[in-house]
Amino acid sequence: MTIGSARREIGDVRQSGTGAIPGPRTAADAYRVSDDQVHKARLVVAENSEGPEDLRLLLDMLGLISTNSDDPPPVSR
């Protein structure tokens, strides 16, 4: 995923939808993050970032992007 693709996916208008609150996670689930969860997290970060550099910084800090395009993001490892 690139910075631009996250922005294009949500469009120029910030969306304010209501999402379902996820149930509590068990200790066994603590390190399991699905591709769908990563995708949704990227969208939330993109919706709330102030620009491309802010988006890149936030995605990197949260482990949602990888420095090497061949590797999965740190949060998925």
DSSP string, 25-48: PPGGGTT---HHHHHHHHHHHHHH
Query: Residue 6: pLDDT band by 50, 70, 90 thresholds?
Result: low
Residue with tokens 């491309």: 52
**Residue 71: per-residue pLDDT:** 84
pTM of the model: 0.57
**Residue 74: per-residue pLDDT:** 83
**Residue 12: per-residue pLDDT:** 47
Decide: 33 and 25 in contact? Cβ < 8 Å: no
Cβ neighbours of residue 14 closer than 8 Å, sequence gap 6 or more? 47
pLDDT, one tens digit per residue, over 8-54 is 555 544 455 566 777 776 776 666 788 898 999 999 999 999 999 99
Handedness of CA 7, 8, 13, 14 (dihedral sign): negative
